[in-house]
């Protein structure tokens, strides 16, 4: 028996696949960024339909509010309006296809474990991805917490920021000389 | 306090009348239509208000002829904008040019969905309401960037680059101010933030956290003025330098979408400010029983509207009082003053919350 939720899920999945294809295959760099925006929105809806609102919101905030805007800036500064991407060439196409086939195989292998009707032990508890439980787990030093990775990521971000400032200072100095 | 509400009985009545999937769809449709009506009416009213306030600040009368007090002037303007030919230049990126005006209005529409207008007058109340607000407000930046680039015009591109830099930097201090309230109230749901301010006026977060609340409120007003692209921080459409900025190439209906989004965004930001700092839909109780009873009798959405329109008046006041900043001044204001100030304020508020030095 197919329910309304199932139909929605398959429509969303089809849309997601089409948009993901467009992201990779479009010759116009700007169009592929737009398709990527569609992919992000579809994935967010998928997360919401799986009752993981917090993950969906975090994805929207990070990707739409951050990464996508930087990607757009990069596109604006490097490409012309209506400019076409050059053909990638056989070697790069071969590498790309091999890499994506490999990741597809890994994903299918993972999905295979959960194929068929789910047992009671495989159904996760409903509030596992809520804001509260995520917050507690991120700051929990115990065995099921992520305090150390969390702090390490902050250090990584700090290092990246200091690096960016150092690079900016260097170019400002050389700009002043020339 | 008894919440005056018609929304719950209405939803329940629809659930009784229709089978399960259709009732949810009908209720959702009603909510969406209500918000859409709110968007249109607010935008039209705010255009009138802006013209009136601007006129008074410049010792003029503003619109007076169309309708009483010129109230129908924006309606006439809207009809004019809709009737205008929608010119689409041949050299633009067609998809981007079409898509860009839709994104900002979508963003502000999505923000309005989580704002609590009254006890039971809120479409959705996600646990992470603040995260939701920051997530969907990114849509506005995207619309400006895409539109400016897709127009294929140097003024548009420069305007959109400036707007992007400005919106992106000022979002930081705005989010830090919101984070402060989340920390103080211990919840990220907008409804629970309002409920955490129950009591007298002194229980609103602007006063309850000594000093830190007021500073956060001021920082919020400044950074949201920049987020709204309003004067004195409206550099992305500085007429003297960039003609129209990112919407130079837009005409008719597609221009009015940007225009509409600007005003609805102002309402959304003011509503957010009222929710976070001024007790949202709660009546301003002063601790003297007879007056409090009288004030509590006025329904919450009127209090909400009064607070939101007070903030809107603040935005308009600053717009028509201060001269426009230069782009490098604008960015150094954010990065060298507002951001350190909001970080320090966050630290101060954390100390206050930790040692429970809040006004009881």
Exposure string for A76-115, b = 16+ CB within 10 A, e = fewer: beeeebeeeeeeeeeeeeeeeeeeeeeeeeeeeeeeeeee
Domain spans of chain B?
A: 90-354
The length of chain A is 178
Q: What is the pLDDT along chain A (178 residues), one digit of tens a residue?
A: 677 778 888 999 999 999 999 988 888 888 888 899 899 999 998 888 877 888 888 888 888 878 888 888 888 877 766 667 777 788 988 999 999 999 999 999 988 887 766 665 656 666 677 778 888 888 888 787 888 888 999 999 999 999 988 988 877 666 554 4
Give the pLDDT of residue B64: 83
A69/B168 touch (CB, cutoff 8 Å), yes or no: yes
- Report ipTM (2 d.p.): 0.78
Residues of chain A found within 8 Å of residue B188, distances taken between Cβ atoms: 131
Q: Does B152 touch chain A (CB under 8 A)?
A: yes
Q: Does B301 touch chain A (CB under 8 A)?
A: no
Nearest to B50 by CA among B237, B269, B312: B312
A65/B134 touch (CB, cutoff 8 Å), yes or no: yes
Give the pLDDT of residue B124: 79
Give the C-alpha separation, B95 to B143, whole Å.
12
Under 8 Å between Cβ of B283 and B300: yes
A30/B149 touch (CB, cutoff 8 Å), yes or no: yes
Per-residue pLDDT of A47-78, as tens digits, reads 888 778 888 888 888 888 788 888 888 888 77
Helical H segments across chain A, by residue range? 4-25, 29-49, 53-59, 68-78, 90-113, 131-138, 147-177
Per-residue pLDDT of B297-315, as tens digits, reads 888 889 999 999 999 999 9
Give the pLDDT of residue B24: 75
Determine which of B124, B129, B135, B246 to mutate to test the interface with A (most A C-beta atoms within 10 Å).
B135
Q: Does B164 touch chain A (CB under 8 A)?
A: yes
The length of chain B is 360
Determine which of B142, B163, B187 to mutate to test the interface with A (most A C-beta atoms within 10 Å).
B142
Predicted TM-score of the model (pTM): 0.86
Per-residue pLDDT of B127-164, as tens digits, reads 888 888 888 888 888 888 888 887 777 788 888 888 88
Per-residue pLDDT of B17-73, as tens digits, reads 777 667 777 878 888 888 888 888 888 889 899 989 989 888 888 888 888 888 888
A57/B138 touch (CB, cutoff 8 Å), yes or no: no
Nearest to A69 among B128, B136, B164 (CB): B164
CA distance A51 to chain B (A): 12
Nearest to B135 among A60, A82, A130 (CB): A60
């Amino acid at each position: 028996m197919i329910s309304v939720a199932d139909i929605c899920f398959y429509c969303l999945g089809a849309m997601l696949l089409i948009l993901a294809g467009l992201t990779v295959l479009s010759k116009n760099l700007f169009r592929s960024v737009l398709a990527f925006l569609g992919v992000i929105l579809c994935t967010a809806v998928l997360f919401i339909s799986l009752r993981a609102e917090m993950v969906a919101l975090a994805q929207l905030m990070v990707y739409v509010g951050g990464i996508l805007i930087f990607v757009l800036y990069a596109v604006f500064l490097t490409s012309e309006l209506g400019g076409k991407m050059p053909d990638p060439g056989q070697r790069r196409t071969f590498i790309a296809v091999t890499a994506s086939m490999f990741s597809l195989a890994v994903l299918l292998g993972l999905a295979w474990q959960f194929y068929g009707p789910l047992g009671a032990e495989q159904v996760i508890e409903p509030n596992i991805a809520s804001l509260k439980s995520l917050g507690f787990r991120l700051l929990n030093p115990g065995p099921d917490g992520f305090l150390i990775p969390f702090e390490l990521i902050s250090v990584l971000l700090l290092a990246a920021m200091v690096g960016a400032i150092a690079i900016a200072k260097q170019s400002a100095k050389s700009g002043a000389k020339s | 306090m008894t919440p005056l509400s018609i929304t719950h009985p209405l939803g329940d009545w629809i659930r009784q009348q229709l089978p399960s999937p259709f009732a949810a769809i009908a209720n959702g449709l009603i909510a969406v239509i209500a918000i859409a009506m709110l968007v249109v009416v607010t935008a039209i009213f705010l255009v009138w208000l802006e013209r009136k306030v601007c006129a008074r600040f410049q010792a003029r009368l503003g619109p007076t002829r169309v309708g009483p007090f010129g109230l129908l002037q924006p309606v006439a303007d809207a009809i004019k904008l809709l009737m205008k030919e929608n010119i689409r230049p041949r050299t633009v990126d067609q998809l981007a040019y079409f898509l860009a005006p839709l994104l900002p209005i979508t963003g502000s529409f999505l923000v309005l969905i989580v704002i609590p207008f009254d006890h039971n007058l809120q479409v959705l109340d996600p646990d992470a309401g603040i995260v939701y607000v920051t997530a969907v407000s990114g849509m506005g930046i995207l619309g400006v960037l895409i539109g400016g680039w897709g127009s294929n015009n140097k003024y548009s591109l420069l305007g959109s680059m400036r707007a992007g830099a400005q919106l992106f930097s000022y979002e930081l201090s705005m989010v830090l101010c919101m984070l402060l309230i989340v920390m103080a109230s211990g919840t990220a749901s907008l409804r629970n933030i309002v409920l955490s301010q129950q009591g007298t006026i002194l229980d609103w977060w602007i006063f309850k956290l000594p000093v830190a609340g007021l500073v956060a409120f001021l920082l919020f007003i400044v950074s949201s003025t920049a987020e709204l692209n309003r004067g004195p921080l409206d550099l992305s459409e500085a007429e003297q330098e960039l003609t129209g900025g990112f919407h130079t190439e837009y005409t008719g209906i597609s221009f009015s979408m940007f225009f509409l989004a600007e005003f609805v965004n102002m309402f959304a930001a003011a509503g957010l400010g009222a929710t976070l700092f001024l007790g949202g839909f709660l009546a301003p109780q002063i601790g003297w029983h007879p007056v409090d009873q009288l004030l509590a009798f006025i329904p919450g959405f009127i209090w909400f509207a009064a607070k939101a329109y007070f903030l809107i008046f603040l935005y308009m006041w600053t717009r028509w009082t201060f001269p426009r900043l230069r782009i490098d001044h604008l960015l150094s204001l954010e990065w060298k003053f507002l951001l350190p100030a909001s970080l320090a304020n966050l630290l101060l508020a954390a100390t206050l919350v930790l040692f429970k030095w809040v006004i009881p």
